[in-house]
Amino acid sequence: MDQRALKELLFEALEQPPHQREAFIVSRCGDDTGSFLRVTDLLRAHERAEGHFERQERVVPDTPARQPREIAGRRIVRVLGEGGFGLVYLAAESEPIEREVALKVIRPGHASGDVLARFEGERRVLGLMNHPSIAQVYEAGTTEEGAPYVVMEYVAGVPITVYCRRENLGLRERITLMERTCLAIHHAHQKGVIHRDVKPSNVLVTESDAGPMPKVIDFGIAKALEQTSLATHALAPDLTRTRQVIGTPQYMPPEQASGGAGGIDTRADVYALGVLLYECLAGAPPFDPARLARASMGELERIIREEEPPRPSVRVGKLGETEEYAKRSRQLRGELDWIVGRAMEKDPARRYPSAAAMAADLKRWLEGRAVEAGPVSGLYRVKKVISRRRLEFSGGLLILLLILSGSVVSLVYASRANDARLLAVEGERATKRELAKYEQITDFTQSMFEGIDPSFARGTDTALLAKILEDAKTNLESKPPEDPEVSGTLRLMIGLAYRSIGDYDNALPLLEQADAGMGRALGPTAPRAMEAQNALAVVLAETGRFHAALPVLERVHRNREAAFGSTDDRTLESLGNVGTVRGSLGLYESAAEAHRAVYEARRQKNGDDDAATVFSLNNLAMAYQGMGRHQEALEMLDRVIEVQGRLLGSDSPRLLATRNNRAGILNTLHRIDEAIREYEEVLEAKRRVLPRAHPSLLSTMSNLAGLYKRSGDLDLAMPLYEDALRRAREGLPEADVRTATIAMNYAEALRDGDRLQEALPLFEEAEAVVRLSLGADHPKALIARVQHAAAIGAAGDTTSATERLDELLPVARTQVRDDGSFMLTLLDAAAEIRELGGELEAAISLLEERYARAVEFTGADGKSARSSAERLARLSAALGRVEEQRIWSERALGLEPVSGGGS
Amino acid sequence: MALRAAQSDPKRAEELIGMVYDQLRSIAQARMSHERVGHTLQATSLVNEACLKLLGDQGQRFEDRSHFFRAAATAMQRVLIDHARAKNAAKRGGDLPEQERRRLPLDVVDLATEADPTQILALDDALRTLEREDAEACEVVRLRFFTGLSVGETATILGISERTCARDWAFAKARLAELLSDA
């Protein structure tokens, strides 16, 4: 929040009645705890300042001029609160006893005959209520001017949520307060009164001799009055104002949001109590207040009716990363999550039948007995959808599948809101509505898995999931649903789930089928068909099949452009993907062209200072880097880093990734010291913000160590490798490929540092792990095998080394696709072994193969081509082949074009 | 006169402030001889009178008034601070340099506040901090505090909306209270 926004918020808070200010700030700050603390500090300071500066202040800006001196015989002290339909004053009574009361009076113009009639009926009921946690209604009547009023007990308390936070209450105390609140509401229900506006500012906590006591205020008044004012205000142009007035979409049950006033009963209050409990437990409301504030009326209704908020334990875990939050999250997980979930069920019939039942469950928790609520909410929903779908999936299996695929699917479903609109336009077929439900499930599962890095899930124990996916796949193939969209979507989801565990062999065919099936049935430009295309292309690219991925991505881009227009975010995202894959294929010019188009479009749309704009600038820079225009690339990245630092903060993962790229360019430019410094800073930030064995942290450690190694600083490289390896062994699953990769890099450093004997076991370990988890013929396994073989050769056992080599090279030549650099590494090591074994001819032929591939991959001027030529020159010299030596030497120096002298 | 050029030229602005400073002192002195000690002078009327004396009818022009009040705020601030320094130094045994001592504006003793001089000095420090953090809010508080202008008048002088002015004022008060309680 910038200075201006901060001042504005403080000022607006000061315009609220004092006891509502903190709650107001909470509602505006949402998860932004930093801003919340800053503004509340200022608020407190402002209160202190009032005394200090009073003398100088001539005008008191927030005293309304219209404040009357007296209403219904009570002296008006000041305004307590203000709503669309009326005002609440603090008033002083002298009879029957001297006391302060709250006096609520209806604004002229809001008192229609209808309102008055209901108001009167309600008044009698209110008089009957007598509960220590309900603000007593003393009197109701009509002023001389004809405005209805109510005189109530004045409660000098603070909103329950504010109280919990301010007093830093423990869990038990919070729940005790909520239990009492539930009982108070239940008392009212028994008298036939529904509150309808249960929210923090209407549940105040006062301190009595018996400890903190909640007091429910504003009882029933809301019901009598808001019926008409809701409709009136919905038409008012100033929507923010309207929201302040009706105030509480956050606490509004779905049945009320849809406007069916007839369907509202006491369970509406149970829902609101659930939200209140949520907020007391999690420290933040279930729905992001900022988002609710932005949403249109229709969107608001959709959120309230359809969206499942994260469970309190998940929400609290996202508020902060300290141990305190983690502990609170653990305390909430399970029973308290369930209680909140039960109270907040979208379907009233599934909620607690009464506020008393909710109180009873809270009491059970307090007494350590098993609660009645169970973990049914989310599962029930999924089951319900499945039963509607009438597919014979095993419910439990599909649920797990959905949960596990959630985090991935979300990527593809990122644009679901727009797609949903398109679907509605295309026709309201029942299946499509059901698919919309699917998206909700995705939402739900996504919220459960939010914050988990999908790459982190890879390498974890996936055996169970693999089994589940296998079952799901078999089911799907044996009984494919008739509707092509349904079957296609299921294939898409299962395929994506496979992708999330790195099982590309299973993912790919499913995604191909999903793409083909939906393309045929729905047309290639149907949103869901495009999702399938996109997913397929992404998986192709991730598996290094760039040549195959590119046309698909280009197709997705064309289709999206046709469907959404050329400047739509989804179209631009596709074009960006096209650019990135072109870059991977070494087509840097056309990659730059794509990225530049994306960049210019985003600039037009969002301006220069925008995260998306500079992200495409980063991509453009990487294409320039590929074209050899390092200096320009570097300047672009500097700009990206400047903007990202400002917008996202210095620890944001995106910024760190950009700086990582910058370090790479510096390295290419042989500005090694700067590259090292950049990596060091990135590493420092990552050490701070990431868990100790986060893959991204480990990879930076390994990269930096590699750079140290190349710059000859083995003393710096070794401990870093060692540290990374230790972290990987502790934090990653056993026998993990990433651990093996670090072990291998470390082993190479040890080997280069003449510590071959220490390197050997690490090479051996790396080879074993990679073989085990990826298979002996996987490219990575081939690398590990060849490196190990080379080390064995270097240690003197050239026979064993040569045997190993003969076994793997033929496989490598047939297996390895596309990725040229990989084959270069392999041939390099292989040649080394031959050379060590004295087989210079064999070494030469391997190096010639390497040279040819290098030229193909990065051109004759590339580093790999030259290093191959250099070694060939050396070997030719050793064999006395002068002419060949001359040719290779010149090639190594870049003096002569590739043999044949053509291009 | 210095006024017109003060906007762009810091040296001229300094001249203007000096003029207002002298004027403020002399008006205060004159008032003090008529009104008994113990009567607190109103900053606003003081500044208004100084404005009239210095500008005459020109004082009706908006730009002139705007420059004048800004200068007046600075001048008044100095008056107060010099006074507080002197008083503070006197309390500690008076080890201020000779020159400072001669400038003691004893004639505005009762000017704006009976506050402890250390408080005034702390306020000066706090204002400097606030100026670095939020120059706009600082200008609002200086105008209001040292010339006694209302929110509406301050807004007019600064050419900002009344709401912005009230907002900056609220923030500045809160921030100053924080800074002062930290000190």
- ipTM of predicted assembly, 2 dp: 0.73
d(CA A589, CA B59): 67
**CATH number of the domain bearing residue A164:** 1.10.510.10
Closest CA to A741 of A710, A715, A774: A774
User: Which pLDDT band, with edges at 50, 70 and 90, does A83 fall under?
Assistant: low
Structure tokens at B45: 């009327």
**CATH number of the domain bearing residue A137:** 3.30.200.20
d(CA A247, CA A232): 14
What pLDDT sits at residue A471? 64
**H helices, E strands: number in chain A:** 42, 9
- Inside any domain, residue A479: yes
User: Which pLDDT band, with edges at 50, 70 and 90, does A153 fall under?
Assistant: confident
Both A40 and A77 in one domain: the answer is: no
Q: How far is CA A760 from CA A769, A784, B81, in A?
A: 14, 12, 77
d(CA A746, CA A777): 23
Both A324 and A184 in one domain: the answer is: yes
Name residue A93's beta-bridge partners.
A99
Catalytic residue annotation of A: 197
Task: Kindly determine whether residue A10 and residue B167, on different chains, have CB atoms separated by under 8 Å.
Answer: yes
- Inside any domain, residue A696: no
**Which are the contacts of A431, defined by CB distance < 8 A and separation ≥ 6?**
A483, A485, A486
Both A315 and A193 in one domain: the answer is: yes
d(CA A827, CA A821): 10
Structure tokens at A220: 């029933």
Mean pLDDT of A380-403: 36
Mean pLDDT of A676-690: 85
What pLDDT sits at residue A597? 95
d(CA A687, CA B56): 68
Residue A691 or A262, more confident: A691
Both A204 and A334 in one domain: the answer is: yes
Most confident of A98-112, A198-212, B5-19: A198-212
A508 pLDDT more than 50 = yes
What pLDDT sits at residue A817? 53
**Which are the contacts of B72, defined by CB distance < 8 A and separation ≥ 6?**
B20, B24, B47, B50, B51, B146, B147
d(CA A770, CA A646): 41
- Inside any domain, residue A720: no
What pLDDT sits at residue B173? 85
DSSP A134: B
Both A227 and A325 in one domain: the answer is: yes
What pLDDT sits at residue A896? 55
Task: Kindly determine whether residue A46 and residue B167, on different chains, have CB atoms separated by under 8 Å.
Answer: no
- Inside any domain, residue A442: yes
Domain of residue A817: give its range: 775-903
d(CA A795, CA A759): 10
- At which of A488, A511, A543 does a domain end? A543
Dihedral of the CA atoms A602, A603, A607, A613 (nearest 10)? 60
Determine phi and psi for A480, rounding to 5 degrees.
-65, 135
Q: Which of B167, B168, B178 sits opposite A45 (nearest CB)?
A: B178
Determine phi and psi for A88, rounding to 5 degrees.
-115, 125
Both A479 and A431 in one domain: the answer is: yes
Work out the angle between the directed axes of helices A323-332 and A335-343 (0-180°, nearest 10): 70
Q: How far is CA A19 from CA A61, A199, A299, A666, B27, in A?
A: 18, 14, 30, 57, 46
User: Which pLDDT band, with edges at 50, 70 and 90, does A112 fall under?
Assistant: low
User: Which pLDDT band, with edges at 50, 70 and 90, does A276 fall under?
Assistant: very high
Name the burial class of residue A253, with classes exposed (0-12), middle (13-18) and buried (19+) by CB atoms within 10 angstroms of its CB: buried
Largest CA distance in chain A: 121
User: Which pLDDT band, with edges at 50, 70 and 90, does A444 fall under?
Assistant: very low
- Inside any domain, residue A101: yes
How far is CA A742 from its chain centroid? 29
Tens digits of residue pLDDT in A155-170: 888 889 888 888 888 8
Both A504 and A425 in one domain: the answer is: yes
Tens digits of residue pLDDT in A369-382: 777 776 543 344 43
Task: Kindly determine whether residue A42 and residue B178, on different chains, have CB atoms separated by under 8 Å.
Answer: yes
- Inside any domain, residue A198: yes
Hey, what amino acid is at A46? H
Chain B: residues touching A (Cβ < 8 Å): 43, 113, 133-134, 137, 144-145, 148, 150-152, 163, 166-168, 170-171, 173-178, 180-181
- Most B CBs within 10 Å, among A9, A11, A38, A60, to test the B interface: A11
Both A193 and A301 in one domain: the answer is: yes
- Inside any domain, residue A601: no
User: Which pLDDT band, with edges at 50, 70 and 90, does B58 fall under?
Assistant: low
- Inside any domain, residue A429: yes
Q: 3-class DSSP state for residue A322? A: coil
d(CA A99, CA A101): 6
Closest CA to A582 of A570, A571, A594, A600: A594
Both A419 and A431 in one domain: the answer is: yes
- At which of A497, A513, A543 does a domain end? A543
Total domains, chain A: 5
Pick the residue from chain A with its C-alpha nearest to B175: A42
Both A537 and A509 in one domain: the answer is: yes
User: Which pLDDT band, with edges at 50, 70 and 90, does A252 fall under?
Assistant: confident
Task: Kindly determine whether residue B167 and residue A42, on different chains, have CB atoms separated by under 8 Å.
Answer: no
